[in-house]
């Protein structure tokens, strides 16, 4: 059973928001008492038919509760869907006009704020509970969105490029869309939350949570009568359209701008479809957009549709409000032909089969009679008019063969024109019939099925190509990113290469400079080696001089002893001891003085007392001088031994310095080879400074030693000369005539 009805259009105005208040917007709409007509205070509608307002099935002013929208605008559709009709509810309007609030609500768990979809869900399950016991229901839901002109399954987001198909038995549907069987409103709410979380939402200047896609929530209800076996299927499309946008107001840019372009394009295609349906055009451009293709049955097809247009009452959005109202007026004139989607029970199918078999038997008899009559005519015979096979008299007996006569010139009724029309077959055709997609050229039944099959194949092929294209675009994007990264790396490597080349050139210059300095260093080292050899030779010369001085000192001492009466000196020195060197000589002098005192009494006339006193004094002074001279000689010998020891120490130090110098040279060569030493110039300066300092110190010490040694030798010579003179004086005293008596 089919019924033709217009699309039901209701208009809802939301309250003024903060943006409109900030921009100084004023309320420019007024409503009549019946809440069916809205007037806009605007210069654009001051003339023409729009000056009297826009009339809809119902107008809901600002502040209308969610429940009021549902009770008037949507509640009846639920009953129709349960009875096997297709139904559609969709919200249309500019961005930020309250479409999502109307369809979903601010909170699906709140009795006051939940939207149309939660209320429909509750009513469906409530109606199922209250239905007759012999009716069984099966409810399943699907959730999808159209984002950037691609159909995306919100319950399986990885399926983001689904295709629209059409079959005679199913009508228009989305292939590959996942569906879930549900048994309560709570299960539907969970699915709604899951799908809602996957929707694409972005903040714009007009709406903090602007939907960037059209969402479609599909509820399929299958009803089965357990007594008769008949089945009915109703599909309810709940559509939340994305809002039309003006870029100047929303401030969209980048990806948001691309989304706005696609949204406006699909809404424009929807407007073109409604215009074509309003003007009763031969071609309806359903295929211009995925949105209009899915809503094909809802717009002029097999569906009972309710359109909710959402508007702003403020003058800030006056142009958008007028556009929305005009859209609603055009949509209100569209007629849909809704049919019950029923499947016959087995008993009904059996009755139809029996009727078809009886009709087939009648047709076979009629065909046999016609063939017999035709054979007579072809053989040249004649059949009386009373014996002709008439329409509807298939059971008549074949006519008798008449004498041959010329074939009559009168036209023979064709079998097609005489074929009876079977009302049972026509009934089957009516049951199978459904509103067809309007096309430019009317297609036969078989051609249409072939066309739909081919279209589905092409849609699948297109989906595969689009998937491949998407994968290729993704690959190209990745390759571009990789190429950009490689270019950056190449630029970085080139920069590093330039830096390394500069450093390499600098290092080459440094190597050349170091080679030059190394050569200079080698020359300097050779020079230092020569200087070292010269210094070593000079040290050897000094050693020889010191040895010669020692020998000269020894020779001088020997010569002096030989010249100064070595034998007497040896005898005198042999009698010396460490406590008193002249103890024996003092005793002899005492004895001599005693003898002289004894001789004073005996030979007083020979020596005067003054002479004796003078002799005693001279002897005592000579003894004292001799003792002091011997002490000085002993000290000089000790100092000479000390100088000799110091000289030996200096010789050992010279040897150590030579060893240190050789070790330093070896270390310098090793450091130069390993590259760990300082620069050759610094090393050369340090080495020369150290060597010069050591050489100066050594030469200074050698000069001091020479000077000290020479002074000691001179002192020793002077002391030896003094000793010799004292000894000669002593000898002279001994041989003097005054001591003849001794």
Q: Which residues pair with 39 in a beta bridge?
A: 30
Phi and psi, residue 460, nearest 5°: -65, -45
Q: Which residues are annotated as a binding site for ATP?
A: 93-100
How far apart (Å, rounded) are the C-alpha atoms in residues 233 and 434?
Answer: 14
Contact 45, 78 (CB under 8 A): no
How far apart (Å, rounded) are the C-alpha atoms in residues 409 and 709?
Answer: 177
- Residues counted in the chain: 742
The pLDDT value recorded for residue 400 is: 45
Contact 147, 240 (CB under 8 A): no
The pLDDT value recorded for residue 725 is: 72
């310095």: which residue's tokens? 657
Model confidence over 152-180: pLDDT tens digits?
999 999 998 899 998 877 788 999 999 99
The pLDDT value recorded for residue 263 is: 86
Q: Burial letters for 159-191: b for 16+ Cβ neighbours within 10 Å, e otherwise?
A: bebbbbbbeeeebbbbeebeeeebeebebbbeb
Sequence-distant (≥ 6) Cβ neighbours of residue 10 within 8 angstroms: 56, 57, 58, 59, 60, 69, 72, 73, 306, 307, 308, 309
How far apart (Å, rounded) are the C-alpha atoms in residues 339 and 691?
Answer: 120
Cα of 155 vs its chain's centroid, Å: 28
Model confidence over 444-481: pLDDT tens digits?
666 777 777 777 788 788 878 888 888 888 889 899 99
The pLDDT value recorded for residue 434 is: 43
The pLDDT value recorded for residue 570 is: 47
What secondary structure letter does DSSP report for 608? -
Phi and psi, residue 424, nearest 5°: -65, -45
Ranges of residues in the chain with a pLDDT under 50 are 393-442, 569-570, 572-583, 600, 603-605, 676-677, 738-742
Q: Where are the alpha helices (DSSP H) in 245-288?
A: 247-250, 255-278
pTM summary value: 0.55
Q: Which residues are annotated as a binding site?
A: 93-100
The pLDDT value recorded for residue 131 is: 92
How far apart (Å, rounded) are the C-alpha atoms in residues 267 and 568?
Answer: 150
The pLDDT value recorded for residue 280 is: 85
Contact 123, 130 (CB under 8 A): no
Of the candidates 217, 207, 277, the one whose C-alpha atom is nearest the C-alpha of residue 241 is: 217
């003092």: which residue's tokens? 586
Contact 237, 102 (CB under 8 A): no
The pLDDT value recorded for residue 563 is: 62
Contact 731, 739 (CB under 8 A): no
């Amino acid at each position: 059973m089919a019924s033709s009805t217009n699309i039901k259009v209701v208009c809802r105005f939301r309250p003024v928001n903060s943006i409109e208040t900030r921009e100084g917007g004023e309320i420019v709409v007024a409503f009549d008492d019946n809440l069916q007509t809205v007037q806009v205070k605007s210069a654009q509608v001051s003339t023409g038919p729009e000056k009297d307002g826009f009339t809809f099935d119902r107008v809901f002013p600002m502040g209308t509760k969610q429940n009021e929208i549902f009770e008037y605008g949507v509640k009846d559709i639920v009953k129709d869907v349960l009875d096997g009709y297709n139904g559609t509810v969709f919200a249309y309007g500019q961005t930020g006009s309250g479409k999502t609030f109307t369809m979903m609500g601010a909170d699906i768990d709140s009795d006051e704020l939940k939207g149309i979809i939660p209320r429909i869900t509750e009513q469906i399950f409530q109606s199922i509970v209250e239905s007759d016991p012999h009716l069984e229901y099966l409810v399943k839901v699907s959730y999808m969105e159209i984002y950037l002109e691609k159909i995306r399954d919100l319950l399986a987001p990885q399926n983001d490029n689904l295709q629209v198909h059409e079959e005679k038995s199913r009508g228009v549907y989305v292939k590959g869309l996942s569906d879930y069987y549900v048994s309560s409103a709570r299960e539907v709410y969970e699915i709604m939350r899951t799908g809602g979380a996957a929707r694409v939402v972005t903040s714009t200047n007009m709406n903090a949570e602007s939907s960037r896609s059209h969402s479609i929530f599909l509820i399929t209800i299958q009803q089965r009568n357990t007594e008769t076996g008949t089945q009915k299927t109703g599909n309810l499309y709940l559509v939340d359209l994305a809002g039309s946008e003006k870029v100047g107001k929303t401030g969209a840019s980048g990806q948001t701008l691309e989304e706005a372009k696609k949204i406006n394009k699909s809404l424009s295609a929807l407007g073109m479809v409604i215009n074509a349906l309003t003007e009763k055009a031969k071609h309806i451009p359903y295929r211009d957009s995925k949105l209009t293709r899915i809503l094909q049955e809802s717009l002029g097809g097999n569906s009972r549709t309710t359109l909710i247009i959402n508007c702003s009452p403020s003058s800030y959005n006056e142009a958008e409000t007028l556009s929305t109202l005009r859209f609603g007026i055009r949509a209100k004139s569209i007629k849909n032909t809704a049919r019950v989607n029923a499947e016959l029970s087995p008993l009904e199918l059996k009755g139809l089969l029996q009727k078809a078999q009886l009709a087939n038997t009648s047709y076979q008899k009629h065909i046999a009679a016609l063939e017999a009559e035709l054979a007579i005519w072809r053989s040249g015979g004649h059949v009386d008019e009373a014996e002709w096979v008439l329409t509807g008299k298939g059971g008549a007996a074949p006519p008798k063969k008449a004498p041959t006569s010329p074939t009559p010139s009168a036209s023979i009724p064709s079998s097609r024109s005489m074929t009876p029309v079977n009302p049972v077959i026509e009934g089957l055709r009516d049951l199978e019939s459904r509103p067809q997609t309007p096309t430019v050229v009317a297609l036969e039944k078989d051609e249409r099925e072939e066309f739909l099959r081919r279209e589905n194949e092409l849609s699948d092929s297109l989906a595969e190509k689009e998937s491949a294209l998407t994968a290729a675009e993704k690959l190209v994007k990745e390759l571009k990113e990789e190429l950009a990264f490689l270019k950056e790396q190449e630029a970085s490597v080139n920069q590093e290469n330039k830096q390394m080349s500069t450093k390499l050139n600098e290092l080459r210059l440094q190597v050349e400079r170091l080679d030059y300095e190394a050569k200079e260093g080698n020359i300097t080292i050779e020079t230092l080696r020569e200087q070292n050899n010269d210094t070593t030779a000079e040290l050897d010369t000094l050693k020889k001089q010191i040895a010669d001085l020692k020998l000269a000192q020894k020779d001088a001492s020997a010569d002096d002893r030989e010249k100064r009466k070595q034998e007497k000196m040896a005898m005198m020195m042999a009698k010396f001891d460490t406590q008193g060197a002249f103890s024996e000589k003092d005793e002899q002098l005492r004895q001599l003085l005693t003898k002289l005192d004894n001789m004073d009494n005996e030979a007083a006339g020979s020596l005067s007392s003054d002479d004796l006193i003078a002799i005693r004094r001279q002897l005592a002074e000579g003894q004292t001088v001799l003792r002091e001279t011997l002490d000085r000689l002993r000290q000089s010998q000790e100092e000479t031994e000390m100088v000799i020891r110091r000289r030996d120490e200096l010789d050992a130090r010279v040897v150590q310095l030579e060893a240190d110098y050789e070790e330093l040279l070896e270390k310098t060569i090793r450091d130069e080879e390993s590259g760990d030493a300082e620069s050759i110039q610094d090393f050369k300066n340090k080495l020369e400074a150290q060597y010069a300092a050591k050489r100066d110190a050594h030469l200074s010490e050698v000069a001091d030693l020479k000077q000290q040694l020479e002074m000691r030798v001179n002192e020793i010579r002077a002391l030896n000369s003094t000793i010799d003179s004292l000894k000669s004086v002593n000898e002279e005293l001994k041989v003097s005539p005054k001591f003849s008596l001794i």
